[in-house]
Amino acid sequence: MTEDNRVGSERARRRTLWPVRAGHGFVALYVLLLIAFGVVPTVYAIYFAFTTAGDTFAGFSNFTGAADDFRFLPAVEHVALYLVFWLASLVILVVGLALLLHRLASRGLSKALRFVYYLPGALAGAASVMVWLFILDPTVSPVAFLLRALGLTTFDDVVAPGGLPLLFTLIAFWTGAGGWILVMYGALNNIAPDILEAARIDGAGPWQTARRIQIPMLRKWIVYMVILAFAGGTQLFVEPQLLSQASVGVAGRDYSLNQLSYDFAFQNNNVNTAAAVSVELLLLGLGVAAVFVARSGFFDAD
């Protein structure tokens, strides 16, 4: 082999290895962040959940102590009811709006609607709740006429405990649904046009095409959305926490499990029981994710 051929071969080998090495570099950075901000805190929480303040092994006493608290079961009920509304709204409305957006793509409205759907996502977390506190106060709300028409004349009427699951669902949907609509819209764009054209030629209308072709082909994306939304929904904290402060106790500071964990840690100085509640939420999220992945064939090749 001549010197020129040897040099050319070495350059070709380096060009081939570069994407692999670059990929390893990106993955390595993610793994480091995952270990630092995911694995280490999780191990730390598990350690606290099974020990006492004196660092002695406590078995499941911290878990039973949390379950025996009179606030635990109501918090479980609150989060469960919120999850029902939240997941149902995501599956039905997000998929429906994504299908509508995809349908309107050829009519010049798609770009504007995508921007409008995603805009509320810019106000995430506490900022979003602050906006909603303003909207929900009949004395200053721009939709005060609508609130009064519903018989809600004071802020305490709006944040009455019975309607909080729906209220939190509305806030969460307004903030987070836009991103998922865009994800579903992108997934719809990956469906081969030939398949949709064949359905149209066979006489399928928009509803039949959506029900028999588009929604089944979105199945894995819907499962992915439900898994992440369920995990996020169990962590309900910012909305009820800020609402409890704004409503001067009308919405309690122990409404959700995350609030209860926070109360154990920073009000009762009981970090171990707080860690036990956190570990329970982690196991619940992992268990539900495992069930959805196993039953849906999430990793099966299409």
CB 67 within 8 A of CB 150: no
| Ordered domains of the chain (ranges, CATH) | 1-49 (no CATH), 68-296 (1.10.3720.10)
- Cα 157 off chain centre by: 28
CB atoms under 10 Å from CB of 53, counted, come to 11
Residue 1: partners with Cβ closer than 8 Å, 6 or more residues away: 9
CA distances from 241 to 18, 186, 238, 275 (A): 49, 35, 5, 19
DSSP 250-286: SS-TTSSHHHHHHHHHHTS--HHHHHHHHHHHHHHHH
Q: State mean pLDDT over 42-62.
A: 90
157 CB-near residues (< 8 Å, 6+ apart): 138, 151
**AA identity, residue 271:** V
pLDDT at 254 over 50: yes
- Find residue 57's DSSP bridge partners: 51
pLDDT (tens digit per residue) in 221-238: 999 999 999 999 999 998
> What is the pLDDT at residue 162?
81
Residue 181 main-chain phi, psi, to 5 deg: -60, -40
The identity of residue 117, as a single letter, is Y
Q: What tokens were used for 19?
A: 């994407």
pLDDT at 288: 92
Structure tokens at 63: 């878990």
Q: How far apart are CA 6 and CA 8, in angstroms?
A: 5
Does the pLDDT at position 110 exceed 70?
no
3-state class (DSSP) for residue 196 = helix
pLDDT in tens, 116-143: 776 666 666 667 777 888 888 888 888 8
Average pLDDT value for residue range 10-18: 56
Looking at residue 108, its pLDDT comes to 59
Task: Report residue 229 as tokens.
Answer: 């939304």
What are 85's two structure tokens?
């509304």
pLDDT at 13 over 80: no
Residues 249-257: what's their mean pLDDT? 78
pLDDT score recorded for residue 258? 93
Which one is predicted more confidently, 84 or 247?
Answer: 84
Residue 130's pLDDT is what?
A: 78
The predicted-structure confidence for 141-198, as pLDDT tens digits, reads as follows 888 888 888 888 888 788 887 888 888 998 888 888 888 888 888 888 888 888 888 8
User: What share of the chain in percent tops pLDDT 90?
Assistant: 32
Q: Which residue has the higher pLDDT, 101 or 263?
A: 263
pLDDT, residue 233, reads 92
Summary mean pLDDT of the chain: 83
Report, as an integer, the average pLDDT of 27-32.
Answer: 86
